[in-house]
Structure 1
Amino acid sequence: MPLPLYLLALAVFAMGTSEFMLAGLLADIAADLGVPLATTGLLTSAFAVGIGAGAPLMAALSRTWPRRTALLCFLGLFLGAHVVGALTGSLAVLLATRVVAALANAGFLAVAMTTAAGLVPADRTGRALAVLLSGTTLATIAGVPGGALLGALLDWRATFWAVALLCLPAALGVLRGVPAGPPARGGAAGPALRGELAELRRPRLLLVLVLGALVNAATFATFTFLSPITTGTAGLGALWVPVVLVLFGLGSFAGVTAAGRLADRRPGLVVGVGGPLLLTGWVALGLTAAHPAALLVLVFAQGALSFGLGGTLIARVLHEGAGAPTMAGSYATAALNAGAAIGPAVAGAALGAGAAGLGPVWVSAALVAAALCVAAPFHRALAAGAPARQRT
């Protein structure tokens, strides 16, 4: 894999850390700013909505820019938002910085996906995306626990400064490692924006977008509530919460790495085998989460299956959206973040349902079951090979 892919992954690591780090910082932010804890929850919602809505908007805005220029602009905007966030004493300003950071994150990821795909031959797109998305999975392993630890040792503002500092080597890597041009749309001969938007009418593209949203909704429905499941249902101490989160992160890294080698050659196998296994795992977790050993094993397995299947579906979005070379990455980003917003909302409503507060796990199972029902009639379409594409 080309070196620029790993430099892009470093930036994705910083952004993934920022997206998830508030889970361990909200109480400190509420106390420092003198606002109710429930109000600080808006910071998380603002980020998720900003990414989902901002991905197509930012991709459309930057589609005529050279890829390196677009990546550096979004990275600089992301860095600046975190500097302002670290300095402010106002919740309103902090909320605004989260929206700006989310928009920058969405734009960067949308351009980075198409850049990563363009750096390798078409039959290695899945592996390239696995490298890129490893930044997100590594954020759940090291970035989020590290941010929580830094916040505990210093304060929540130190975590914001740390994320800003991570952007500096990533920006240097983009500057030196990503080609300066041509523009992301491929020059004047590239498709018009209207033509790229028209790709959304293609049934196969819509299919993989829906499946990606459902699988990601299932993933975050349970991931968001792993802490109360660990300390409540399984009866483990609070110190086990970061252990469980790291296990999930390790599983997600293993899953996206393994699936990256199959997503191009055997996508139908990943969906046809990984989907039922993912459903079985959620059901098993719902039945056995009260047993700590089962919880620890299944959290790792579900992280691997969720991100392996999700990474494969992202690769399929880029394959099916070949007619939208600058917008396909934003479509994938929007679908995944729609799932990341919807899943926890539904799971939160079900938190008190089911045995021992395992409503979120059963929501995850139901969402994956729905995805399998949608995918079943289209198995051959999902298994189709990648279209021919030149490196750009």
Structure 2
Amino acid sequence: MPFALHLLGLAVFAQGTSEFMLSGLIPDIARDLSVSVPAAGHLTSAFAVGMIVGAPLMAILSRRFSRRSALLVFLVAFLLVHVVGALTTSFTVLLVTRVVGALANAGFLAVALVTATSMVGPDAKGRATSALLGGVTVACVAGVPAGALLGAAWGWRSAFWAVALLSLPAVLAIARAVPSGAPDADGPSALGELRALRGPRLLVTLLLGALVNGATFCTFTYLAPLVTHVTGLGSSWVPGMLALFGIGSFVGVSAAGRFADVRPMPILVFGSLALVTGWVVFAVTAGNPVAAVVLVLVQGALSFGVGSTLIARALYAATDAPHLAGGFATAAFNVGGALGPWLGGLAISAGLGFRSPLWVSAALVAAALVIGGAALGLGGRAPEKALAPSPDPARSRATS
């Protein structure tokens, strides 16, 4: 993998830390700003909504600029809104900063996905996606637990300052290492790319990704109160549980990256079956500390393994939309990122307890399995082709 691709992963690490760290900070934010825990959980949904709106919009706007310029503008904006978030005493202002930060994050990730896959061969999109999303998993392993520790020691605002500081070296690294280039004036028009994104194969893949990601965010957003109120562990365990989820996600995305280009169907079918089973088992055994520790690790691996494979397949299915593919993949997956915490918050507000998001996660993955199976059965082979391995160009030349 090119070195510049790993530098993009550094920026994704900072942004992933921001996106996920609220899982360990929501109780403190709720107390400090005098709102309920479900209301504080809406900060995660607000971020996801900003990603949904921002990803396609920012991807379209970024067509006017070189990729390096677009990446730098988005990352600097992301840094500045975290400074504002660290200083505010208003929940409304904090909510707005999450939306604006998400717009910048969405633009960055949309351009970064396209940039990363353009740095490798046409049959290595899965490996490039895995390398880029490795920054997200490292955020889960190190950044998010560190944010929880900072929040416990110096308050939740210190975590926002830490994200701003983390973004600084990424800005410098991208300015030096990512090729500048020029806007691509020879590619398809924005309208032509939008038409290419209406294909049924791509739409099925994005819908499945939204459901799987919704399940992941539903439980992860409320993991801190789940651990303390249901499992019965002290608040000091929360950073460790977040780190376990991150370790699992790193293992999952790394393993998926090795096979997503050549054997995606076994990952998606068997991984999804294992994922829905794991959420059900977790819901039943959440009061057992040993089971909770094991399942946080396992579910992190399965969630990111299946999720990253779906992102790679979406990029394969959208080759006729080279600029907008990353934006629409980002948007679709964040539909799940908004839906999951919202549904989990509804379940908690309805009096079903902090165990209920686990059941919601199980239902979302089950829905993905049903829809995926129906698409394969009713839609002929079109959805299957979108998820099937891409042909090996070298092998094709050898046999021609």
TM over 0.5: yes
Q: Counterpart in 2 of 1:285? A: 282
The reply to whether residue 338 of structure 1 matches residue 335 of structure 2 is yes
- Inter-partner Cα distance in structure 2 for 1:56 and 1:388: 30
Partner deviation per Cα, 1:114-134 (whole Å, 9 max, x = no partner): 001001112221111111111
Q: In the alignment, which residue of structure 2 is the partner of 1:384?
A: 388
Q: Which residue of 2 aligns with 1:119?
A: 119
> Would you say how many aligned residue pairs link Structure 1 and Structure 2?
385
Name the SS for the 2:232 alignment partner: coil
Provide structure 1 residue ranges, at least 5 long, that are not aligned to the other structure: none
1:240 lines up with 2:237 in the alignment:
yes
Shift of 1:158: 2.6
CA-to-aligned-CA distance 1:23-53 (integer Å, 9 cap, x gap): 4444555665x54356655543332211111
User: What letter is aligned with 2:21?
Assistant: M
1:262 aligns to 2:250 (yes or no): no
The AA in structure 2 aligned to 1:318 is: L
State the match for 2:396 in structure 1: none
2:218 to 210, 218, 221: 221
Are the equivalent residues in 2 in contact too, given 1:267–1:382 (CA < 8 A)? no
Q: Distance in 2 between matches of 1:110 and 1:171?
A: 17
Matched, 1:13 2:10: no
In 1, distance between residues paired with 2:279 and 2:40? 30
Contact 1:122 1:388 in 2 (8 A): no
Q: TM-score, normalised by structure 1?
A: 0.91
For residue 35 of structure 2, what is the aligned residue in structure 1?
Answer: 36
SS in 1 for 2:235: coil
Amino acid at match of 2:50: G
Q: Contact between 1:268 and 1:382, CA under 8 Å: does it hold in 2? A: no
Structure 2 unmatched ranges of 5 or more: 377-382, 394-400
Report the aligned-residue RMSD: 2.3
Give the distance between the partners of 2:321 and 2:257, measured in 1 at CA: 22
> 1:332-381, CA deviations, whole angstroms, 9 ceiling, x for partnerless residues?
11111110111122222233889975322222111111111121242732
Change (3 A) 1:152 1:242: closer
TM alignment of 1:178-217, pairs within 5 A = 178-183=178-183, 187-217=184-214
Take 1:69 and 1:388, find their aligned partners in 2: how far apart are those partners? 34
Q: Is the 8 A contact 1:279 1:368 kept in 2?
A: yes
- Residues 296 and 177 of structure 1: CA distance in aligned 2, closer, same or farther (over 3 Å): same
Tell me the alpha carbon deviations over residues 50-76 of structure 1, each in whole angstroms, 9 at most, x when there is no partner: 111111111111112110010011011
Aligned match of 1:3? 3
Mapped pair 1:50 → 2:50: yes
Q: Do 1:199 and 1:205's aligned partners in 2 also have CA atoms closer than 8 Å?
A: no
Q: 1:149 to 1:231 in 2, by over 3 A?
A: closer
Equivalent-residue separation in structure 1 for 2:31 and 2:276 (angstroms): 40
Indicate how the Cα distance of structure 1 residues 294 and 25 shifts in structure 2: closer, same or farther if over 3 A, else same. closer
Change (3 A) 1:92 1:230: closer
CA distance in 2, matches of 1:115, 1:324: 13
Over 3 Å counting, the alpha-carbon distance change for 1:373 and 1:28 in structure 2 is: closer
SS at match of 2:315: helix
Task: Give the whole-Å Cα distance in 1 for the aligned partners of 2:263 and 2:233.
Answer: 40
